Amino acid sequence: MKKKMNTATIRQSKGKEPLVMITAYDALFARLFEESADILLVGDSLNMSFAGKKDTVSATLEQMIYHTEAVCRGASNTFVICDMPFGTYPNKEEALKNAMEVYRRTDADAVKIEGGVEKAETIAYLHANGIAVCGHIGLLPQAVRGEGGYRVKGKSSEEALALMRDAKAVEEAGAFCMVVEGVKSEIAEEIARNVSIPVIGIGAGKGVDGQVLVFSDMLGLFEEFTPKFVKRYMSGAELVKEAVKQYANEVKSRLFPSEEHTY
């Protein structure tokens, strides 16, 4: 059986083998991912792929706690990070209250917070109070309404400098790792070279210390749109639809249940 990682071994993985992170939202899939994933992220992306909402902004703490509990139950031998949803960390006190709620009610090993320089004080406060924090810089899905859309970061030298400042601030605040999302690959690589904690990329190229993908994207279950950085490792939606169609046909034609499936 694999050895469960912790914040120390995650930090120590820097410069060695890339970290494998994947999102998980329930016990069923978490159990299936456990063998191959180093880290499971209960991302607020569940608000889109599972709850059918248009973005992550309306996810609630209750929702995240419910899903995190389930993931921890399904994959008790894997490091689990719970995404702090929008509006639950507007200041350091509120952030600590809500992160403690996550720790109290789930077995999550860490929380994730979106933001760089502007969230450094909050990250430092959580860290000082015993909460393990994964940072998240670059394209910030929770800022989508404020920014008017999703946009790749690091295209100008000003943006590249700002990203580097964000990365340094998150590192110095005490985060044990950080997600870098939607960033030009050369900038993401430069960030990874300049910080001592693992940088886990999503849409950030291969010059970083690990990768994360949203599971419903990489399994081809979420069909609405596929960003350029997503590789589909299976055609999940087609397989599911085909199986359900076959079931429906067999029910209608009374082929199912056969003798084999009857008491």
User: Which residue in 165, 228, 175 sits closest to 14, CA to CA?
Assistant: 175
Closer by beta carbon to ligand KIV, 20 or else 256? 20
Stretch of 11-19, 38-46, 69-77, 170-178 lying at the interface with ligand KIV (CB under 6 A): 38-46
Does residue 202 belong to the site contacting ligand KIV (CB under 6 A)? yes
Q: Is 158 an annotated catalytic residue?
A: no
Please tell me whether the peptide bond between 85 and the residue prior to it is cis, using omega within 30 degrees of 0.
no
Applying CB under 6 A, which of residues 214, 218, 219, 221 lies at the interface with ligand KIV? 214
Closer by beta carbon to ligand KIV, 160 or else 202? 202
Amino acid at 32: L
Stretch of 24-32, 42-50, 170-178, 191-199 lying at the interface with ligand KIV (CB under 6 A): 42-50
Cβ contacts of residue 93 below 8 Å, gap of 6+? 125
Does residue 49 belong to the site contacting ligand KIV (CB under 6 A)? no
Does residue 178 belong to the site contacting ligand KIV (CB under 6 A)? no
Stretch of 39-47, 86-94, 161-169, 235-243 lying at the interface with ligand KIV (CB under 6 A): 39-47
Does residue 38 belong to the site contacting ligand KIV (CB under 6 A)? no
Distance of alpha carbon 238 from alpha carbon 235, whole angstroms: 6
Selecting among 34, 69, 114, 181, the annotated active-site residue is 181
Give, as ranges, the residues between 79 and 118 that touch ligand KIV (CB under 6 A).
83
Question: Catalytic residue numbers?
Answer: 181
Where does this chain bind ligand KIV (CB under 6 A)? 23, 41, 43-45, 56, 83, 179, 181, 202, 212, 214
